[in-house]
Structure 1
Amino acid sequence: MSSSSLNNFPQPLSGGKLVLGTICLAMANFLAILDTTIANVSVSNIAGSLGTSTSQGTYVITSYAVAEAISVPLTGWLASRFGAIRVFITCLILFGVFSALCGMATSMNMLVLFRVFLGFAGGPLMPLSQTLMIRIFPKEKSHAAIGIWSMTTLVAPIMGPILGGVLCDQLSWPYIFFVKTPFAIIAGLMCWKLLQQFETKTAKSRIDVVGLGLLVVWVAALQLMLDEGKDLDWFESNHIVILGIVALIGFVAFLIWELTARNPVVDLKVFRHRGYTTSMLTLSLGFGAFFGITVLTPLWLQIYMGYTATIAGYSTAMMGVLAIFLAPAIANLATKVDPRPLVFIGVLWLGIWTLYRSSANMDMTFWQVSLPMLFQGIGMPLFFVPLTAIALGCVSDREMDSAAGLMNFIRTLSGAFATSMVNTSWENQTRYVKAELVGLTDQSGAAAGAMANAGMGEEQTRGIMDWMLQGQSVMVATNQIFMVIAVIFAVAAFVIWLAPRPTRAVDPSAVH
């Protein structure tokens, strides 16, 4: 939403109203971002409960992320057409409703459908909550507003795995969705009482219907191709071939239309700035790699290391602990020095620790798994915060809103694509490694003989041997994927040097 459209606002809130308004707006942003990670540690539980495979369970993650990415570019048009407050409150209440419906789902198809609607409702909450947070604060305290909003942005992804794990273990997986409903609806109703005076003027602005349609077509087709390819033997399936063709034609048509449209839904012209293009390439590679390891880690810990969803959540959340404390200092530093070395160090740091984690084994303790992730998290604020300064420091003032919205779109979409690709690679590599190990396992028959002497039957012996073989195959495949992801981090780190030094300083916490 353009800041220029919000110039004629009444006086900021004060006292108790300011505190209450801040809590409600922060809650909206927290809930929208929380949903990107709260289901990560619960995928295996959800899949088992609904009678589907773990690979299909990841649709719960990707469906929300894709829908959210598509709805973010629409925020500006929705706010100008219907009013920022109406859009914000409607999306927040719908977010609560669809969260409840997700918990009531009785099949994977139903759950994925409601997650799509949940993503559509959640997308506008992030940019609108930020803009409105700044508006309700006195001008001299705008940094406090930005700080509070930024803190929820950092805390929410960390709380997601912990909250999801505890609710899944102590109650059941539907409660990871039910728990958000009362907070969303109550916050929405309170915002309506508190923020009506901040409503923006509306105008019958036109929307780029063709551009939006093409965006939905190519993104949906590509995501479906990535999600279903592993189950349908990829391009041996006519279904996958058709999806690939639709995605390619849709993407090319989208590029042509958006570059020539008068009011495009996504302003691609910002890519003419070399610094912005380079930053987005670094972001897509780096965030895709980062999200890939955060999805893969809890799946491995629960299915093959015997962790509960709660303990897997604690372990995964370690990555964000140090990031919370370092983010404010790095945000301040990025405005005073060249941010490129900070990004380079941050992404390379993530890659080095990912490479270290590629030597994992199945005898590791909780702390042997978690401590590397704790230190790895130092790279998160070094990566994300200065990268925003580089990207937005390379575009003109009038392009700032478009550049920020497109950055959010690319980040969200990269996470969704990475989830599918990592999960597919993990399963395929596990099958390949297991096939290689089968011929090398217990060739002398000593292990089988020892189990037989211990009183185990033939079927029991075969089952134990197969489970041990499967576990080791998964461990080798996991380590190999971590190696590949470490290389992707390294490439992303060096790419940032192709960007010129920003010509002006931008407060990196001012834009999501």
Structure 2
Amino acid sequence: MPEIKYPQGIEKWLLVITAISCAMLELIDTTIVNVALREISGNIGATTTEIAWVVTSYGIANVIIIPLSSMLSNLFGRKIYFTSSVIIFTFASLMCGLSDSLWVLVFWRFIQGIGGGGLLSTAQSIILGAFPPKEQATGQAIFGLGVILGPTFGPVMGGFITDNFSWHWIFFVNVPIGAIAAILASRYVTDLPGVQKLKKIDWWGIIFLVIGIGSLQFILEEGSSEDWFESAEIVFFFTTAVLGIVAFIVRELSIDYPAVNLRLYKSFNLAMGNIMNFVIGMVINGSVFIFPLFTQVALGWTATKQGAFMIPGAIATSVGMIVVSRFLNKGYNPKNIMIIGLLMNSCFLFMLSFSGPDSNETHFFWPFILRGFGTALMMMPILGLAVAGLHGKDLAQATGLSNMLRQMGGAVGIAIINIYLNRSTADIRGNLIGNVSNYNDATSERLGAFTQMFSQAGYSSDQATQAAYSMLDGIVTKQQMLVSYNQGFGMLGFAVLFCIPIILLIRYNKKDKIQVVNEH
């Protein structure tokens, strides 16, 4: 076997910067649109239900193309495929910004998701392939930073752009960055040596994957608004998801040229690493999803204020990545590091579960620093475990599978939190309302004070009474949201602890570091 030559000097870092920039672009666009949906819907005349398709179409395209990235890379060559993905993503971004109707925007968001999905997994294999085995923790840290910083800065950028310019610029900002990235990719990204281009294409495997994973992603994205299995549409897509995924698995395990090599899961640690990737997606996306809702609905924060608050936690994760990469390079047991990170995330969630109506940035600052550092401790070893011992096209397949499972985990986490919040909010409101009565002294006293306040402000007797009841209802609503979110944080905190047995099952040899033997 010929000696593997790794990129050196400026060429190496231009390659890494190109890859991580493209990965961050893709991840930023999974969240940047969310904060601008209200303005977009008003501008193009879409309903709240219809505008959700701007997010859903991107997510469906993303989760379909990510596991196929390795096959497409082998089919066209990694240089052509990655460069083409950048160009497709950039052009689709331009067209999204120029869109003047809902379904035109949805179409180009789907195309953008196809290009973006090709960027994420290929970028990870490019970054890992740029570092020799003894420096793999550095490569994992760099990719891990992109995974964390992209979703964190997306809402901040979205809020700033929407407040100061227009929603169109959420997409236009990708164009110059994408153009530069395409030029750099065509110059520095190389094909994988020794990988033969595909002679046969697994069309049935691709079709089954599109049907199964696409339907599942649709259910997770739209289930909450459609009342889940009360909807005939959700029942239909659930059936197609099950049939599609079963057919896909049977197909991929029965042919010699699968679109996605599921046989890689014979590696126990790869399977455990991907299960943990799924859990990380649930924890990170679940907490990132629930906290903005909590602060904006229960505490009255603006979207920009909430987004800016997340930045110190992301910086803590960046520092944590550097620290953990050094620990891993020195041979520390990654299982111990993961458990410590997991406990830190659990503590963070339990601390948030004691929030009150007077909670502010000061109360949340240190819990989020703890979360940021703990996330680095969880993510770094898992990135290594999920691809350990693989190289070439197997490495590309493994990165595609691990990224798909992290994306799916995020969608599952958000769906579960949505179900929980909807049901718990109704129960909690019922319990609170039971204690609000004209026969209750505290209620009568509070209503009297409110009525007097509005009367002194010039309201008529009837108006003052009505305003007092409305104000009391607002207080009850805020309290119900506060209790509901606190319980949600507590539930997530307990859920994280159930991952400890999974970590303990991972096989680790003290003589070995987490390394990836690969070809670039």
| Amino acid in structure 2 at the alignment position of 1:463 | S
CA distance in 2, matches of 1:270, 1:230: 34
Q: CA deviation at 1:492?
A: 1.5
Q: CA deviation at 1:324?
A: 0.5
Percent pairwise identity: 25
Q: CA deviation at 1:34?
A: 2.2
Q: CA deviation at 1:498?
A: 1.8
Does residue 487 in structure 1 map to residue 482 in structure 2? Answer: no
Match of 2:366 in 1: 371
Whether the aligned pair in 1 keeps the contact of 2:145 and 2:317 (CA below 8 Å) is no
Whether the aligned pair in 1 keeps the contact of 2:68 and 2:259 (CA below 8 Å) is yes
Whether the aligned pair in 1 keeps the contact of 2:34 and 2:155 (CA below 8 Å) is yes
Match of residue 390, structure 1, among 380, 385, 392: 385
CA distance in 1, matches of 2:169, 2:349: 32
CA distance in 1, matches of 2:191, 2:390: 29
**Could you list the per-position Cα deviations for residues 74-95 of structure 1 after superposition, in whole angstroms to 9, with x for gaps in the alignment?**
2222223223222222211221
Match of 1:438 in 2: 433
Instruction: Report SS of the residue matched to 1:214.
Output: helix
CA distance in 1, matches of 2:304, 2:47: 21
**Could you list the per-position Cα deviations for residues 105-153 of structure 1 after superposition, in whole angstroms to 9, with x for gaps in the alignment?**
4565554443322121012223434555677899999998776555544
Q: CA deviation at 1:397?
A: 8.6
Match of residue 293, structure 1, among 287, 291, 294: 287
| Amino acid in structure 1 at the alignment position of 2:470 | G
Match of 1:347 in 2: 342
Q: How many residues align?
A: 504
CA distance in 1, matches of 2:39, 2:7: 46
| Amino acid in structure 1 at the alignment position of 2:399 | A
Whether the aligned pair in 1 keeps the contact of 2:320 and 2:373 (CA below 8 Å) is yes
Q: CA deviation at 1:292?
A: 0.8
Worse-superposed segment, 332-341 or 347-356: 332-341
Instruction: Report SS of the residue matched to 2:310.
Output: helix
Match of residue 401, structure 2, among 394, 397, 406: 406
Worse-superposed segment, 313-322 or 17-26: 17-26
Q: CA deviation at 1:178?
A: 2.0
Match of 1:498 in 2: 505
TM-score, length of structure 1 as denominator length: 0.85
| Amino acid in structure 2 at the alignment position of 1:434 | R
Change in CA separation of 1:171 and 1:117 when aligned onto 2, cut-off 3 Å: same
Instruction: Report SS of the residue matched to 2:513.
Output: coil
Task: Give the alignment's Cα RMSD to 1 decimal.
Answer: 3.6
Match of 1:169 in 2: 163
Match of 1:252 in 2: 246
Match of 1:309 in 2: 303
| Amino acid in structure 2 at the alignment position of 1:271 | Y
CA distance in 1, matches of 2:400, 2:191: 22
Q: CA deviation at 1:18?
A: 6.7
Segments of structure 1 that go 5 or more residues without pairing to the other structure are none
Whether the aligned pair in 2 keeps the contact of 1:133 and 1:145 (CA below 8 Å) is yes
TM-score, length of structure 2 as denominator length: 0.84
Paired residues for 1:28-107 under 5 Å: 28-42=22-36, 60-106=54-100
Does residue 241 in structure 1 map to residue 197 in structure 2? Answer: no
Q: CA deviation at 1:414?
A: 1.2
Match of 2:452 in 1: 453
CA distance in 1, matches of 2:201, 2:120: 21
Whether the aligned pair in 1 keeps the contact of 2:388 and 2:516 (CA below 8 Å) is no
Worse-superposed segment, 329-338 or 88-97: 329-338
| Amino acid in structure 1 at the alignment position of 2:493 | A
Change in CA separation of 1:492 and 1:395 when aligned onto 2, cut-off 3 Å: farther
Does residue 466 in structure 1 map to residue 461 in structure 2? Answer: no
Whether the aligned pair in 2 keeps the contact of 1:351 and 1:490 (CA below 8 Å) is yes
Q: CA deviation at 1:410?
A: 0.7
Does residue 477 in structure 1 map to residue 476 in structure 2? Answer: no
**Could you list the per-position Cα deviations for residues 35-78 of structure 1 after superposition, in whole angstroms to 9, with x for gaps in the alignment?**
23334554565566667777876655554344223212222222
Instruction: Report SS of the residue matched to 2:499.
Output: helix
Segments of structure 2 that go 5 or more residues without pairing to the other structure are none
| Amino acid in structure 2 at the alignment position of 1:453 | Q
Q: CA deviation at 1:160?
A: 2.4
Whether the aligned pair in 2 keeps the contact of 1:270 and 1:395 (CA below 8 Å) is no
CA distance in 1, matches of 2:516, 2:167: 36
Q: CA deviation at 1:401?
A: 3.7
Instruction: Report SS of the residue matched to 2:214.
Output: helix
Match of 1:159 in 2: 153
| Amino acid in structure 2 at the alignment position of 1:446 | E
Change in CA separation of 1:217 and 1:500 when aligned onto 2, cut-off 3 Å: same
